[in-house]
Structure 1
Amino acid sequence: MSQALDSVRAYHERTKHHFRRYADGPGGLDWATQPDPFRTYAGSPQTLLPLLAEASPIRQLRYAELYTGAIAPQPLTLVHIGALLELAFGLSAWKQYGASRWALRCNPSSGNLHPTEAYVAVQGVAGLADGVHHYLSRDHLLEQRCAFAAPALPAGGFLVGLSAIHWREAWKYGERAFRYCQHDAGHALAAARYAAAVLGWRARLLDDWADADIAALLGLDRDEDFGAAEREHPDLLLWIETNASDRRPEIDVRPLRAAAGQWTGRANRLSPEHKHDWPVIEAVAAASRKPRTQAAVGSPPRLPALLPLDCTAGAVALIKQRRSAQAFDGVTSISAQSFYRMLDATLPRAQVPPWDAVAWPPRIHLALFVHRVEGLLPGLYFLLRHDGIEARMRAELSGEFQWQGVEGCPPHLRLYRVLAADTRNAARALSCHQDIAADSAFSLGMLAEYDSALNQGPWVYRQLFWEAGMLGQVLYLEAEAAGVRGTGIGCFFDDGVHDLLGIQGHWLQSLYHFTVGGALSDERLQTLPPYAHLQRS
């Protein structure tokens, strides 16, 4: 394991951006080899999924209700499986400029490149064959990859599996792309949990499964089904629980593999050629491959109820309207109440999405560049997402930091102002000189407890990025609920962030940036409905 861990650490160092040089990338976009954003399996039987009807009572649920645990579970039907996939991974709109048109999806993605593919394994659902199916978001349908020849799943739920096609991100971002694929897995994990909440269901990460087991279940290890097509790497497996239960299901890969019947379908090739292949990505993917482990066991700390939300928007509408802002106006501020609510939503609580999908404790803290929050002095702040870390933070970060409590902040939020200053230039510079980090109400860096996490195993490297992506999805939706907009920032100067904060060594590492503010709209772009192109009776 030490060699694999060394490889993971070496990859992380190698793919840092620096003020004097960026991580290795293609140096420009080769539009002739732009990857197809949609994976398909030619020859697989297809099942059309119903779209959420405008009159569906699900559309009447308010976003704030997702956090109450009071939504009655919907029955496990084809309609509701379709609703979960639509809200988690489906299209949210098309954008068009001139002759160019591209799709947006409910789950965020770095560069809108969408390396994440979704699968379901189901049985006992009327209108859908028992087995493993690939979700094709463009057409909102399931492609049957394998039929179950025998019962294989416990009652009361179904499986959602996620994989990654690294080439989709590497085409644009080069060696750093593996990081972004892991961010997107976290985005998708949280998106699935929120979609489940709309239906009164729950999602649980099956973190004991090995990557090889997930690959076997989803058919990702079948060379004959891929040929020259870009391969998919297993990411994670979720149990979507459709009836209330406090027990985590025991799902063994062996009966699932034994139940597998005939496989069908052949994967499409996404690019006609690859002018750049990045061997370091496949090397770190192999080094961080997860073996079978014990399931994580944990319980979140007791916290007060989530701070109230001044938002009456419907859950479905808000999930579908989520966008990544391209620019901010530089003037919009948010209230302290909205700011505290966003931060509070990043803290795990029992049976509150999306954090109840994972059992591990928080391993990421937030360094916040506050620019325009009413009632708060501009400056640098820290939100500590669990106790027991404050003493080390105070001792080992910059000696210039003041660690002052914030007047009026709810006491359960471990929020500290460490520096009162105009931090707009610093935020811009550290985020690869992007104005969006300075023109916002606030921006932030996500600091992972890197050394202690990796000591658990090299595969935890990926889980750290998943947690960062989950944080991103929380902030995306909470920003929409507050009437503003967010965007993730994958380009930042890693060690520049560490130097500013006084981080020595690798006990903390910055993994992802995010920013929230008043979005500017590009009036040149036309917005089209997500599924108007489908011809269905």
Structure 2
Amino acid sequence: MTTSNNSEALQVVMAYHERSKHHLNRYAAGPEALDWDAQPNPFRAFTGSPQRILPLLTDETAVTFAGLSAATPQPVTLQAVAQFLELSLGLAAWKEYGPDRWALRCNPSSGNLHPTEAYLLAFGVQGISDGLYHYLSRDHLLEQRWYPDAEQYGSGVYIALTSIAWREAWKYGERALRYCQLDIGHAQGALRYAAGTLGWHLRLRGDVDDARLRSLLGLDRSSDFAHAEGEDAELLLEILPADTMFSASTSPAALPGQWRGQANCLDPHPLYQWPVIAETTSASRMPLRTPDPLPPDPWPARKKSGHTAASTLIRRRRSAQRFDPKTVMATDDFFTLLDALLPRSALPWDVWPFTPRIHPILFVHRVEGLSCGLYALPRTTGGETVLRTALNPDFSWQTVAGAPAHLPLRRLYDGDVRSIARTLSCHQAIAADSCFAVVFLAEYADPLQSGAWHYRLLYQEAGLLGQILYLEAEALGLNGTGIGCFFDDAVHETLGIKDHTLQSLYHFTVGHALTDTRISTLPPYAHRELTLTPEKTHEHPLLSAY
């Protein structure tokens, strides 16, 4: 791409970010009303594709959540791939409230709308024919989209992620692209934790750009999406260790083989159009990427939490709808959660080969032994310099007494910040009733100068941080909720940010969830015993942002 094109793409992306901001006196452009009975189908399927039903886990995993980094590597087989997909992108439960029924998945999603789709490219896997498959989480099965004419192209297993922006735009309008990228980060984290249950590693394939990945996944086959919403290519991960011979940079379209399947239509009667989403998606397409050279771990090995079976903890993760405003969090638990956010070479950060750019600002409400107020956790030395320069010069930057020596936690301001946190997060009580709330600040202007595609990376990193908080909170007997709705520039003004050096991309909150006893919880795959085509289901308004 030429310098001129880079400049134009950057202008498109930054203009999108500005126009998709929420403000105290108005929200970003979105639908004026929602018909909950007409929301898009949450499950993509390909009619006419051969189906391979995957086995379900019958027992909980032997490896605990705390032991994920040390799990014994398992061979790549049908059973193992099934476990990998079930614990990352599969269903965790069904919920019922009155006549409404909706699914929850292991990977969280904004509004439970799930724009993320997954594809498996498998060669030389015991029990799986070579080819490209779409994963249908509703029924935990693979739909074979492409299969080669030749018997063998070598060995290798890859997982690709795509986004269907309309699923988010139906509810959130122009802000939807942000949420799609957060969901990709959540999914990437979910895949890494699930891989850990099998002793596997994942590697991001930066040698596959957007155009090649689209071809690889058949997303450019317009006839296969003739009456359906298209999908945007996001990323490709390689499962390691593997004696990889097949090159993922070679598209199946260039190899002898056959394509099967027609994508289903998710919303036959869309009422709105948001062309800026497609425009910004195009401007931020991923080029070939070289991993950043990362220094050795600057932090000591962290204290692990969670001696529950990893599969149990992963499947019980929920997005809290309400928090108990009286719960006080133990200090050690608070430090343990923050320590999990520091970038290391171990799981799950080994799936993120880029310089960390996201730094948490914490609104602390109820942590034992810690004064209420505003705190910062710069995740790199350079990030701390940026924060100190860009934030309010009156912040104190005090070292927190009792914090682990290596934890770069700094107190900025003492005082009750519950009302501020609630107001900034679109007046949502969960930001104030929790033990603490987080603003994920991104180093924004500087990385974007290296390419508009960094916009996606920033949101994906924020989503990955959110996934860590979700699971680490569960491991401590607490709960989390991602918050995508916040007043962007009001956050910046509160923190003293006067330019685009830093931008708030995502909010999160942790506390003790209160259970809504009106909602019933049902097993995730009981319907497989009856039929593989259950009735259309949809989200209920009681669901929160994540």
Given the two structures, how large is their TM-score scaled by the length of structure 1?
A: 0.95
**Residue 97 of structure 1: aligned partner:** 97
**Residue 538 of structure 2: aligned partner:** none
State whether structure 2 residue 143 is matched by structure 1 residue 143: yes
Give the AA of the match of 1:445.
V
SS of corresponding position for 2:206: coil
State whether structure 2 residue 492 is matched by structure 1 residue 490: no
**Residue 65 of structure 2: aligned partner:** 63
Shift, 1:297, TM fit: 3.9
State which drifts further: 226-235 or 389-398. Answer: 389-398
- Checking the alignment, whether the CA contact within 8 Å between 1:5 and 1:454 is kept in structure 2 is yes
State which drifts further: 254-263 or 109-118. Answer: 254-263
Separation of aligned partners in 1, 2:360 and 2:480: 15
Given the two structures, how large is their TM-score scaled by the length of structure 2?
A: 0.93
SS of corresponding position for 2:526: coil
SS of corresponding position for 2:93: strand
Structure 1 residues 254 and 152, CA, compared in 2 at 3 Å: closer, same or farther?
Answer: farther
SS of corresponding position for 1:361: coil
Give the AA of the match of 2:15.
A
**Residue 12 of structure 1: aligned partner:** 17
Shift, 1:212, TM fit: 1.0
Aligned residue pairs, count: 526
State which drifts further: 215-224 or 28-37. Answer: 28-37
Structure 1 residues 503 and 145, CA, compared in 2 at 3 Å: closer, same or farther?
Answer: same
Give the AA of the match of 1:510.
S
Shift, 1:453, TM fit: 1.2
Q: Deviations over 1:407-433 (max 9, x none)?
A: 111121110000001000000000000
Give the AA of the match of 1:95.
K
State whether structure 2 residue 393 is matched by structure 1 residue 403: no
Q: Deviations over 1:253-297 (max 9, x none)?
A: 226443351100000000111100110101100111122343444
Structure 1 residues 105 and 153, CA, compared in 2 at 3 Å: closer, same or farther?
Answer: farther
Shift, 1:116, TM fit: 0.2
Give the AA of the match of 1:258.
A
1:471 pairs, out of 465, 468, 472, with 465
- Checking the alignment, whether the CA contact within 8 Å between 2:182 and 2:459 is kept in structure 1 is yes
Structure 1 residues 189 and 233, CA, compared in 2 at 3 Å: closer, same or farther?
Answer: same
SS of corresponding position for 1:514: strand
Give the AA of the match of 2:347.
P
Shift, 1:71, TM fit: 1.1
Shift, 1:505, TM fit: 0.7
Separation of aligned partners in 1, 2:194 and 2:115: 20
**Residue 116 of structure 1: aligned partner:** 116
1:373 pairs, out of 367, 372, 378, with 367
SS of corresponding position for 1:384: coil
Separation of aligned partners in 2, 1:354 and 1:132: 26
**Residue 543 of structure 2: aligned partner:** none
State whether structure 2 residue 226 is matched by structure 1 residue 232: no
**Residue 292 of structure 1: aligned partner:** 288
2:257 pairs, out of 257, 261, 273, with 261
State whether structure 2 residue 307 is matched by structure 1 residue 312: yes
Separation of aligned partners in 2, 1:88 and 1:260: 31
Shift, 1:32, TM fit: 4.4
* Equivalent runs, 1:211-222 vs 2, <5 Å: 211-222=210-221
1:337 pairs, out of 332, 335, 350, with 332
Separation of aligned partners in 1, 2:343 and 2:73: 22
Separation of aligned partners in 2, 1:297 and 1:147: 37
- Checking the alignment, whether the CA contact within 8 Å between 1:122 and 1:131 is kept in structure 2 is yes
SS of corresponding position for 1:95: strand
SS of corresponding position for 2:401: coil
Give the AA of the match of 2:67.
E
Q: Deviations over 1:442-470 (max 9, x none)?
A: 00100000011111211110011000000
State which drifts further: 257-266 or 493-502. Answer: 257-266
SS of corresponding position for 1:476: helix
Shift, 1:312, TM fit: 2.0
Structure 1 residues 252 and 132, CA, compared in 2 at 3 Å: closer, same or farther?
Answer: closer
State whether structure 2 residue 278 is matched by structure 1 residue 279: no
* Equivalent runs, 1:315-330 vs 2, <5 Å: 315-330=310-325
- Checking the alignment, whether the CA contact within 8 Å between 1:327 and 1:519 is kept in structure 2 is yes
**Residue 107 of structure 1: aligned partner:** 107
Shift, 1:241, TM fit: 1.0
State which drifts further: 234-243 or 392-401. Answer: 392-401
**Residue 174 of structure 1: aligned partner:** 173
- Checking the alignment, whether the CA contact within 8 Å between 1:202 and 1:240 is kept in structure 2 is yes
1:24 pairs, out of 22, 29, 38, with 29
Shift, 1:151, TM fit: 7.1
Shift, 1:153, TM fit: 6.2
Shift, 1:249, TM fit: 9.1
Separation of aligned partners in 2, 1:271 and 1:283: 21
Structure 1 residues 257 and 222, CA, compared in 2 at 3 Å: closer, same or farther?
Answer: closer
1:346 pairs, out of 326, 341, 344, with 341
Give the AA of the match of 1:228.
H
SS of corresponding position for 1:393: helix
SS of corresponding position for 2:381: coil
Separation of aligned partners in 2, 1:138 and 1:299: 41
**Residue 501 of structure 2: aligned partner:** 507
State whether structure 2 residue 361 is matched by structure 1 residue 359: no
State which drifts further: 471-480 or 146-155. Answer: 146-155
- Checking the alignment, whether the CA contact within 8 Å between 1:71 and 1:200 is kept in structure 2 is yes
Separation of aligned partners in 2, 1:17 and 1:323: 26
Shift, 1:128, TM fit: 1.5
Give the AA of the match of 1:145.
R
Task: Flag structure 2 segments of 5+ consecutive residues without an equivalent.
Answer: 1-5, 532-546
Structure 1 residues 188 and 273, CA, compared in 2 at 3 Å: closer, same or farther?
Answer: same
Give the AA of the match of 2:425.
S
Give the AA of the match of 1:146.
W
How many percent identity over aligned positions? 55
Separation of aligned partners in 2, 1:263 and 1:291: 26
Task: Flag structure 1 segments of 5+ consecutive residues without an equivalent.
Answer: none
State which drifts further: 387-396 or 223-232. Answer: 387-396
- Checking the alignment, whether the CA contact within 8 Å between 1:442 and 1:516 is kept in structure 2 is yes
Separation of aligned partners in 1, 2:207 and 2:445: 21
Separation of aligned partners in 2, 1:261 and 1:443: 51
**Residue 519 of structure 2: aligned partner:** 525
Give the AA of the match of 1:275.
L
State which drifts further: 287-296 or 131-140. Answer: 287-296
Separation of aligned partners in 1, 2:227 and 2:204: 31
**Residue 537 of structure 2: aligned partner:** none
Shift, 1:123, TM fit: 1.1
